[in-house]
Amino acid sequence: MPNNSMDTIPWDQIFFILEAWQKGLSDAGFSVPSVSALSLEVQSEQTKAWVVLVSTIISLRTKDEVTIASSRRLLVKAPGPQDLLQLPKEMVAQLIYPAGFYRTKAEHLVQIAAILVDRYHGRVPDNMEELLALPGVGRKTANLVLSEGFEQDAICVDTHVHRICNRTGWVHTKTPEETEYALRNTLPRLYWRRINWLLVLFGQQVCRPQSPYCSRCPLADHCIRRDVLKSR
């Protein structure tokens, strides 16, 4: 069993393995995570930040394929905050249906658009404090906007990242926020933006919440299998 103390985690080797594994997925035709896929479709930094903000809010408790379809429907009608404010809230809800909690998300999106237009001249803020002040935006969403939208060094910790980092023994934390801060203290900065993309895919395909595929895991030598009671 590996000794994964914070000081001895071989991050370079781990990311080499993960990126080789992800390349194999790409060669086989698997897509990137939903928000990343949508952000890759635009070039402008501000447009990208808006796309990431909108799609991340829609993605909460929602499957990737629904997130992509719902986000595209809305973004065609509302490519910017000013455009979204021209839409009735009920239409916003209809456009993002059947995303989970779509009515609440629609309300937050309308509120966010109004704030961006009123306070930021229609631009998405590029710092954590101001992003967290937006309705419905937590650290996961803010970090993803910073990393994917503005290409800043930020660690986005969702359920996949939190679960995998604890299961492997790379961290020992109770909440995603604790995991984020633990990783900030040990993970080399060049990997901050990449860890979410890679571990979301890894969590969907291999290291699943229940009965992970340990028998075909390329990271088996770097995992203590914490709290794994049943695997495949």
115 and 163 share one domain: no
Torsion 14-17-18-19 (CA) sign = positive
- Alpha-carbon distance of 69 to 62, in angstroms, equals 11
Q: Over the stretch 188-228, which tens digit does the pLDDT of each residue have? A: 999 999 999 999 999 999 999 999 999 999 999 999 999 99
- Alpha-carbon distance of 144 to 137, in angstroms, equals 11
Q: Over the stretch 87-125, which tens digit does the pLDDT of each residue have? A: 999 999 999 999 999 999 999 999 999 999 999 999 999
Would you say residue 21 has pLDDT above 80? yes
pLDDT (0 to 100) of residue 30: 63
pLDDT (0 to 100) of residue 180: 99
Report yes or no on 120 lying in a domain: yes
Residue range(s) defining the domain that contains residue 20: 11-30+155-222
Would you say residue 4 has pLDDT above 60? no
Report yes or no on 191 lying in a domain: yes
| Structural domains counted in the chain | 2
Look up residue 132 and give its two tokens. 């967290």
Phi-psi region of 121 (alpha: psi -120 to 50; beta: other; left: phi over 0): left
pLDDT (0 to 100) of residue 230: 94
Domain boundary among 149, 168, 203: 149
Domain boundary among 132, 149, 166: 149
Q: Read off the pTM.
A: 0.91
134 and 178 share one domain: no
Q: How far are the Cα atoms of 50, 89, 112, 125 from residue 80, in angstroms, in the given order?
A: 7, 15, 11, 14
88 and 193 share one domain: no
Residue 162 near residue 149 (C-beta atoms within 8 A) = no
Q: Over the stretch 138-176, which tens digit does the pLDDT of each residue have? A: 999 999 999 999 999 999 999 999 999 999 999 999 999
pLDDT (0 to 100) of residue 28: 66
pLDDT (0 to 100) of residue 5: 54
pLDDT (0 to 100) of residue 31: 64
Would you say residue 34 has pLDDT above 90? no
103 and 138 share one domain: yes
Would you say residue 2 has pLDDT above 90? no
Residue 127's nearest CA partner among 112, 111, 143, 115 is 143
72 and 21 share one domain: no
- Alpha-carbon distance of 109 to 196, in angstroms, equals 23
125 and 50 share one domain: yes
Report yes or no on 25 lying in a domain: yes
